[in-house]
Structure 1
Amino acid sequence: MGAQNPQPLAHCGRRASSRLRVRLPAELIMLDGQGPAVIENISATGARISSKFVLRPGASCILRLAGLELFADVAWCAQGFIGLMFEEPLAQDRLIALRNLDPADLANDRAARQDWARGFVNGTVGRRC
């Protein structure tokens, strides 16, 4: 039935914890500078952010938002998005508090995603890492 040597979820394409869709402003702090970022989704173990910065997988950074400083490593970077893995899991109460800070109306977020997709198809959005 099952595999004799099951791999951990992290190694077979599944996330360790579910993500919350948000749109939160944040600051990305790296060794060579800092600047704005937007958190697209977040979980206890990581986040997907959009940023103008190009970071290499394995690079370390700090994600600062709402009075928190989250130490993270870059898992991936593609087309203006960065996947982060937090060094320490985010407590559930903090995660819920961040979700409650989200100013975006996620029901109306479709138009923003469509605009981004149009820009991507036209070649005016995103850079390869």
Structure 2
Amino acid sequence: MTFGKKIGGGRRAGSRATILLAASVMGKGIGHRVAVMDLSATGAKLRDADAPQAGTELWIRIANVERLSTVQWARGGFMGVLFDKPLIPRELYELHRQNSISIATKLKPEERLAVDDWNIGLAR
């Protein structure tokens, strides 16, 4: 039995697309930058060396999209979060558009994250 994958009877509610965007997470005693590794309307996988434990509530900001979320799992420098309110199609489209632009520029992942930081005002 496979867990965590939509195909094969897992628990994932929505299909996810691989992306790489910078995000910020905030919560009780938590406030730092993370990388969004994949995204769906209902949640995301984040790269975070200091991932909080499952059940932790976080406020996440990806570009101009903000959501309350709950950590579903955390291990190996990654975590999966479930959004309190699903992203609407326009928000998903905009996040994927931003990811496509950064891919088209052929920047390295670290450079893409630095550009995202600049765009949301963290690197100014």
Q: Shared topology, TM-score over 0.5?
A: yes
Equivalent position amino acid for 1:44 in 2: A
Question: Counterpart in 1 of 2:63?
Answer: 66
Equivalent position amino acid for 1:28 in 2: V
Question: Counterpart in 2 of 1:28?
Answer: 25
Q: Residues 43-66 of structure 1: CA distance to partner in whole angstroms, max 9, x if unpaired? A: 000000001223111110011121
Q: Residues 73-129 of structure 1: CA distance to partner in whole angstroms, max 9, x if unpaired? A: 0000010001000001110111011000115439x8xx97xxxxxxxxxxxxxxxxx
- Which residue of 94, 103, 106 corresponds with 1:105? 103
Q: TM-score when scaled to structure 2?
A: 0.72
Q: Which has the larger radius of gyration?
A: 1
Structure 1 ranges of 4+ moved more than 6 A? none
Q: Number of aligned pairs? A: 100
Gaps of 5+ in 1: 1-8, 113-129
Q: TM-score when scaled to structure 1?
A: 0.69
Following the alignment from structure 1 to structure 2, what is the Cα–Cα distance between the partners of residues 105 and 25?
14
- The residue matched to 1:105 in structure 2 has which SS? helix
Question: Counterpart in 1 of 2:40?
Answer: 43
Percent identity between matched residues is 27
Following the alignment from structure 1 to structure 2, what is the Cα–Cα distance between the partners of residues 29 and 41?
19
